[in-house]
């Protein structure tokens, strides 16, 4: 058997490595993936070796690596430092090592690190030393280390993301077109990968210039968003292409770029993307579905992978594989861990006899020690029970790193309001508003404040789990069902809205928001803005309704009242917990104003010069609501007469109608509009409310006339539906 041909790693480049007999001085440099970011607690967990306590802390893979080694041989580990920074790119890290001419972007990274240091909510604040403030220490540590791991390139890769190619892929429907765009995507990724390779080579050269005799290991990335692989494939490939994974494609080019850089620079490379094992155990390794970062068990997996590949002699593994030595192979997690990179690493750690290391690192049953907590995991078990604590981190990415998350909002507005034929003033007002005084940032920060967003994602993840069997994959339908089920919980959604309602910037910018609101309504009623927003050409009935409303000043006045009333009473609504409570509060505060505006609307629409247009408006609204297409063969004269009768009754009996409105508004205080919109039992809710209301008003003679008129109208609507059905069947 020719092992070299059977195994996948074809690296024939000789690389430099120096066995470390004693006094391991380990330095990790990288981004938040080597920093141990975990959305279960929402912070980095770098780790540190506390010599006086003889203890290694941290939940990052460098920390697990150092702790495993310290457990194997307490005297072997001399020092361990983890200089990993959130959202850092390769060029920025070169600046930190050389500590001169720092760019503003790099300074922001350092500022963000210091924010972490001082954040009271950070459960690992005790691990951050003052040397973060003096970046010269990074260069000093580089000079002292005899093992340096590099985990960089992900944020450069994200920065190079071929968004246009992905958009083109999303828009395709046929298999041939999808395959064509996939080929373009491969070419784009290959080109971008060469840039990553060059950047990593430059970084390695800088490190070698300060410490030419250290062991440098470039670390590959594990697969992100593993739970949503099928969702992404469904979305982009439309189930037309069966054997392609979009995530695997992106990770292949990124990790290939890193490995190529290591090979060219005569450094070691360790692959950490064991797809078989990760897929099988994804519920433990990637507990937070919506985070691209793994959980602590995946970081521990990577650390064990490092110890095995840097602590075992390759010949020991190869000979066991060749000779089918089941005693050894039964302890190995999988031989696939070696197929990708077995020529790219060597034994440099002096930890003892190979079989003993294998058993002590992985456990008797291959993964015992992975899923059993070590002493530090046990110490931090309370925070490891949480899920999706990401809002603090994301908000500070925007606030302290100036990542301009608002650009996502701005791009969405630009694309949503785009029209070849018209320029909408609403779009310009919105963009100006978001650019001025950092209102967009304020919106993002207030939405993310507290635990409202965290709780939403926790609930969404729990609902997702209810739609699948253990360890199965999700599909688009599962995601939609879980989202709809989560939205039904109005407390979750209102908690997010409350964050905005309590924000001072809404009151401070109420004049700008009022202008945006007025302009939006004007353009909705007088231009094709609605067609642009829904990306659908409206039929003539919609246009008639739009034109009718645009001519009624009372509707503009009422819309203005709604907006101003909201801004004035923000504090009242921000102290509540549900939309039902807000609805009840709004009705109580505006009881008489609502009656006043309804009176004015009835008076205006029932005037002689408006009556014909009003009847047509109501008729078309009814037909649209009941999905009855209008045609020349459909007789709607009876419907028009019944609408006319209701308008006459409303105008003739205003005083009594106002008394009824008082009863109606009081009863509406207990009616859950939110549940009516989002609940599956909306029919029962409506029926229950109608019955309750009928008991209140059944003895009022005039209202009985209204009820009879409305019932007569409903009968006519059913008759029209029947007519339309018969006409369709006879075609």
More reliable by pLDDT, 122 or 106: 106
Statement: residue 75 has pLDDT above 50 = yes
Residue 720's pLDDT is 84
- Burial tier of 722 (Cβ tally within 10 Å: 0-12, 13-18, 19+): exposed
In the numeric block, the tokens 């690296």 are attached to 11
Q: Are 65 and 34 in contact (CB under 8 A)?
A: no
Residue 4's pLDDT is 40
**Strand residues in 692-731 grouped as ranges (E):** none
**Cα separation of the two ends of the chain:** 73
More reliable by pLDDT, 351 or 450: 351
Beta bridge partners of residue 218, listed in sequence order: 150, 269
Q: What is the pLDDT of residues 632-680, one digit of tens each?
A: 667 788 888 988 888 888 887 777 777 777 877 887 888 888 887 787 6
* Strand bridging mode 55-56 / 49-50: antiparallel
Q: How confident is the model at residue 2 (pLDDT cuts 50, 70, 90)?
A: very low
652, 603, 614, 636: which is closest to 713 by C-alpha?
Answer: 636
Q: What is the pLDDT of residues 508-536, one digit of tens each?
A: 787 888 888 888 888 877 788 777 776 76
Residue 684's pLDDT is 64
Residue 5's pLDDT is 40
697: in domain: yes
Q: How confident is the model at residue 302 (pLDDT cuts 50, 70, 90)?
A: very high
Q: How confident is the model at residue 627 (pLDDT cuts 50, 70, 90)?
A: confident
Residue 7's pLDDT is 41
Distance between alpha carbon 194 and the CA centroid of its chain, in Å?
A: 29
409: in domain: no
> In whole angstroms, what is the distance from residue 699 CA to residue 225 CA?
62
More reliable by pLDDT, 122 or 483: 483
Backbone angles phi, psi at 29, to 5 degrees: -120, 140
Residue 6's pLDDT is 42
Residue 148's pLDDT is 98
382: in domain: yes
Statement: residue 323 has pLDDT above 70 = yes
Q: Of 341, 366, 387, which one is at a domain's C-terminal end?
A: 387
Within 10 Å of residue 232's Cβ, how many Cβ atoms? 16
Q: Of 323, 356, 387, which one is at a domain's C-terminal end?
A: 387
Q: How confident is the model at residue 609 (pLDDT cuts 50, 70, 90)?
A: confident
Q: How confident is the model at residue 708 (pLDDT cuts 50, 70, 90)?
A: confident
431, 393, 399, 426: which is closest to 412 by C-alpha?
Answer: 431
As a whole number, mean pLDDT of residues 443-470 equals 81
Q: Of 372, 387, 402, which one is at a domain's C-terminal end?
A: 387
Q: Are 226 and 246 in contact (CB under 8 A)?
A: no
More reliable by pLDDT, 441 or 355: 355
274: in domain: yes
Least confident of 186-200, 257-271, 506-520: 506-520
Helix (H), strand (E), coil (C) string for 414-454: HHHCCCCCCCCHHHHHHHHHHHHHHHHHHHHHHHHCCCHHH
Within 10 Å of residue 238's Cβ, how many Cβ atoms? 15
Residue 694's pLDDT is 62
Statement: residue 142 has pLDDT above 90 = yes
Q: What percent of the chain has pLDDT over 70?
A: 88
Q: Are 87 and 400 in contact (CB under 8 A)?
A: no
> In whole angstroms, what is the distance from residue 302 CA to residue 477 CA?
33
Rg (C-alpha) for the chain, rounded Å, is 33
Report the CATH number at residue 333: 3.40.50.1110
What angle, rounded to 10 degrees, do the helices at 229-237 and 163-171 form? Answer: 70
In the numeric block, the tokens 């018209």 are attached to 422
Q: How confident is the model at residue 174 (pLDDT cuts 50, 70, 90)?
A: confident
Give the chain's mean pLDDT.
83
Statement: residue 409 has pLDDT above 90 = no
Q: How confident is the model at residue 697 (pLDDT cuts 50, 70, 90)?
A: low
As a whole number, mean pLDDT of residues 690-713 equals 69
How many domains are contained in the chain? Answer: 2
527: in domain: no
Residue 470's pLDDT is 57
Helix (H), strand (E), coil (C) string for 301-354: HHHHHHHHHHHCCHHHHHHHHHCCCHHHHCCCCCCHHHHCCCCCCCCCECCCCH
Residue 375's pLDDT is 93
Residue 12's pLDDT is 54
Sequence-separated (6 or more) residues with CB below 8 Å from residue 547: 525
The most confident of 22-26, 290-294, 335-339, by mean pLDDT: 22-26
State the DSSP code for 381: T
Statement: residue 250 has pLDDT above 90 = yes
Q: Are 285 and 278 in contact (CB under 8 A)?
A: yes
282: in domain: yes
What the block records as the tokens of 650 is 């409303």
Within 10 Å of residue 470's Cβ, how many Cβ atoms? 6
70: in domain: yes
Residue 709's pLDDT is 84
Cα–Cα distances (Å) from 501 to 495, 570, 576, in that order, read 10, 6, 10
pTM, whole model, 2 decimals? 0.82
More reliable by pLDDT, 635 or 298: 298
361, 342, 366: which is closest to 270 by C-alpha?
Answer: 342
Residue 469's pLDDT is 63
Residue 71's pLDDT is 94
328: in domain: yes
More reliable by pLDDT, 263 or 522: 263
> In whole angstroms, what is the distance from residue 60 CA to residue 38 CA?
9
Residue 324's pLDDT is 76
| Domain extent at residue 684 | 573-591+602-731
State the DSSP code for 56: E
Least confident of 148-157, 310-319, 414-423: 414-423
Backbone angles phi, psi at 46, to 5 degrees: -60, -55
Statement: residue 3 has pLDDT above 50 = no
Least confident of 403-417, 424-438, 516-530: 403-417
Q: How confident is the model at residue 132 (pLDDT cuts 50, 70, 90)?
A: low
Distance between alpha carbon 294 and the CA centroid of its chain, in Å?
A: 15
Residue 79's pLDDT is 95
In the numeric block, the tokens 């828009």 are attached to 171
As a whole number, mean pLDDT of residues 311-321 equals 84
As a whole number, mean pLDDT of residues 297-325 equals 88
Q: What is the pLDDT of residues 459-505, one digit of tens each?
A: 999 998 887 765 577 888 888 889 989 999 999 999 988 888 877 77
As a whole number, mean pLDDT of residues 158-183 equals 87
Statement: residue 440 has pLDDT above 90 = no
More reliable by pLDDT, 710 or 14: 710
Sign of dihedral through CA atoms 351, 354, 360, 363?
positive
Least confident of 3-7, 45-49, 222-226, 441-445: 3-7
């Amino acid at each position: 058997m020719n092992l070299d041909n059977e195994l996948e790693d074809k690296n024939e480049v000789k690389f430099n490595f120096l066995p470390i007999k004693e006094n391991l001085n380990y330095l990790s440099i990288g981004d938040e993936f080597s920093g141990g970011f975990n959305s279960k607690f929402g912070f980095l967990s770098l780790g540190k070796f506390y010599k006086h306590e003889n203890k290694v802390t941290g939940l990052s893979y460098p920390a697990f690596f150092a702790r495993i080694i310290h457990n194997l041989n307490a005297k072997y580990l001399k020092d361990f430092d983890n200089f990993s920074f959130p959202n850092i790119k390769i060029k920025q890290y070169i600046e930190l090592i050389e500590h001169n001419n720092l760019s503003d972007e790099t300074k922001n990274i350092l500022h963000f690190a210091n924010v972490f240091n001082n954040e009271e909510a950070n459960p690992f604040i005790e691990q951050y030393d003052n040397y973060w403030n003096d970046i010269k220490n990074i260069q000093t540590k580089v000079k002292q280390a005899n093992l340096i791991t590099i985990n960089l390139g992900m944020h450069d890769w994200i920065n190079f993301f071929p968004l246009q190619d992905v958009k083109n892929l999303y828009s395709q429907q046929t298999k041939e077109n999808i395959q064509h765009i996939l080929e373009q995507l491969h070419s784009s990724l290959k080109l971008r990968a060469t840039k990553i390779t060059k950047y990593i080579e430059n970084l390695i050269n800088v490190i070698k210039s300060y410490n030419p005799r250290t062991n440098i290991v470039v670390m590959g990335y594990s697969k992100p968003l593993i739970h949503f692989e099928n969702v992404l494939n469904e979305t982009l490939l439309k189930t037309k292409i069966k054997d392609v994974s979009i995530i695997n494609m992106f990770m292949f080019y990124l990790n290939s770029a890193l490995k190529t850089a290591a090979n060219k620079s005569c450094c070691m490379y360790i692959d950490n993307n064991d797809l078989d094992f990760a897929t099988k155990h994804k519920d433990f390794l990637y507990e937070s579905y919506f985070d691209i970062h793994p959980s602590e068990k995946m970081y521990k997996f990577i650390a064990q992978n490092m110890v095995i590949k840097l602590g075992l002699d390759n010949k020991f593994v190869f000979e066991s594989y060749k000779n089918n030595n089941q005693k050894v192979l039964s302890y190995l997690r999988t031989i696939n861990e070696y197929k990708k990179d077995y020529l790219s690493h060597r034994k440099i750690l002096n930890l003892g006899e190979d079989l003993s290391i294998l058993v002590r690192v992985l456990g008797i049953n291959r993964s015992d020690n992975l899923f059993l907590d070590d002493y530090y995991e046990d110490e931090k078990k309370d925070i490891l029970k949480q899920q999706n604590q990401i809002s603090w981190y994301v908000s500070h990415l925007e606030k302290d790193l100036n990542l301009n998350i608002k650009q996502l909002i701005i791009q969405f507005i630009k694309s949503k309001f785009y029209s070849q034929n018209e320029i909408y003033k609403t779009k310009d007002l919105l963009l100006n508003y978001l650019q001025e005084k950092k209102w967009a940032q304020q919106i993002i920060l207030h939405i993310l404040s507290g635990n409202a967003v965290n709780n939403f994602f926790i609930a969404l993840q729990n609902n997702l789990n209810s739609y699948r069997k253990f360890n199965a994959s999700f599909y688009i339908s599962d995601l939609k069902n879980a989202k709809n089920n989560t939205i039904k919980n109005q407390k979750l959604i209102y908690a997010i809205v409350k964050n905005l309602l309590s924000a001072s910037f809404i009151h401070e910018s109420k004049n700008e928001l009022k202008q945006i609101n007025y302009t939006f309504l004007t353009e909705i009623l007088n231009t094709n803005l609605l067609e642009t927003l829904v990306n659908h050409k409206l039929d003539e009935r919609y246009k008639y309704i739009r034109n009718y409303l645009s001519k009624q000043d009372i509707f503009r006045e009422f819309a203005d009242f709604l907006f101003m009333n909201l801004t004035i009473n923000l504090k009242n609504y921000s102290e509540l917990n549900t939309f039902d409570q807000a609805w009840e509060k709004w009705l109580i505060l505006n009881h008489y104003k609502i009656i006043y505006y309804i009176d004015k609307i009835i008076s205006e629409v029932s005037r002689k010069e408006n009556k014909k247009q009003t009847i047509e408006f109501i008729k078309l609204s009814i037909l649209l609501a009941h999905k009855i297409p209008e045609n020349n063969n459909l007789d709607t004269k009876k419907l028009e007469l019944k609408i006319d009768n209701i308008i006459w009754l409303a105008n003739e009996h205003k005083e009594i109608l106002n008394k009824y409105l008082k009863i109606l508004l009081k009863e509406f205080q207990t009616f859950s509009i939110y549940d009516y919109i989002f609940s599956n039992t909306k029919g029962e809710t409506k029926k229950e409310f109608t019955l309750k209301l009928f008991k209140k008003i059944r003895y009022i003679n005039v209202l009985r006339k209204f009820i009879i008129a409305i019932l007569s109208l409903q009968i006519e609507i059913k008759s029209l539906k029947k007519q339309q059905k018969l006409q369709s069947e006879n075609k």
